[in-house]
Amino acid sequence: MIGRAQWIVAAMVLALVGGCHRPRHAAEPSATYPPPAPYGGYPAHSWGYPQPYGGHGPWGSPPPGHGTGPAAGPAAGGSGQGATAGMRAAAFAQSMQGRPYCWGGTGPECFDCSGLTYAAWRAAGKTIPRTSADQREKLAPVAMASLQPGDILWRPGHVGIYVGHGWVIHAPRKGEPVRSQPAQSYREAYRP
């Protein structure tokens, strides 16, 4: 049987050698890894997703048109002469980043997810169905490996506009503005 003095000695030894937890080696991730993403609407770390735009190390670069550079970046191809309707839709979606979410919104003041895709294609000169369910049902499916700027990406209950290089512009939910995110969470794609 262990006496009171032995318990005190055991507790002191544990405290001196680092407590109950195994010491962490400097190369191991800490409880705070990954570091929180900086504000800006795009993730700071790729989490196994290819780094867009030649990102270095664990930190990626923002999608075109986000942060610095023109609103219609190289992935979208801009909205000038020679741009396809998909490129124009993607450029429109990029230019709407930062606008607030509102249920049923088709812009330009605020958008919901399918309202953004609807408005982007309308700005590109083509009318598509208004709701995400109708967009999924009535537009032509596209293989995820064959995405082009302007394609509508779908996941249950949500859509966004593909802008190229693995990025989507979408209107996430109430309280969050239109912003970019990696396309990896989307399951299906449709082309107007």
CATH number, domain with residue 92: 3.90.1720.10
Give me the amino acid identity at 104: G
Residue 48 lies in a domain: no
User: How confident is the model over 48-68, as pLDDT tens digits?
Assistant: 334 343 333 333 444 444 443
Buried b (16+ CB within 10 A) or exposed e, 100-136: ebeeebbbeebbbbbbbbbbbbbbbeeebbbbbeebb
Residue 85 lies in a domain: yes
- For residue 123, the model assigns a pLDDT of 96
Q: What are the structure tokens assigned to 159, written together?
A: 């859509």
Residue 38 lies in a domain: no
- State whether the Cα torsion 119-121-126-127 is positive or negative: negative
- Alpha-carbon distance of 46 to 52, in angstroms, equals 9
C-alpha dist (Å) from residue 43 to 1, 27, 51, 170: 56, 23, 11, 14
**Residue 183: which domain range?**
72-191
**pTM of full prediction above 0.95:** no
Q: What is the tally of structural domains in the chain?
A: 1
Vertex 137 angle, CA 134 and 143, to 5° = 125
User: How confident is the model over 64-84, as pLDDT tens digits?
Assistant: 444 433 333 434 455 556 689
Torsion angle, alpha carbons of 180, 98, 111, 187, to 10: 10
Residue 94 lies in a domain: yes
Identify the H or E element spanning 1: none
**What are the pLDDT tens digits along the chain (192 aa)?**
567 766 566 655 544 444 333 343 333 333 333 333 333 433 333 333 343 433 333 334 444 444 433 333 434 455 556 689 999 999 999 999 999 999 999 999 999 999 999 999 999 999 999 999 999 999 999 999 999 999 999 999 999 999 999 999 999 999 999 999 999 999 999 999
Which residue shows structure tokens 């504000």?
39
- For residue 83, the model assigns a pLDDT of 80
- For residue 78, the model assigns a pLDDT of 56
Residue 142 lies in a domain: yes
Residue 183 lies in a domain: yes
Please give the DSSP secondary-structure letter assigned to residue 185: G
Which residues belong to the active site?
113, 158, 170
Residue 138 lies in a domain: yes
Residue 112 lies in a domain: yes
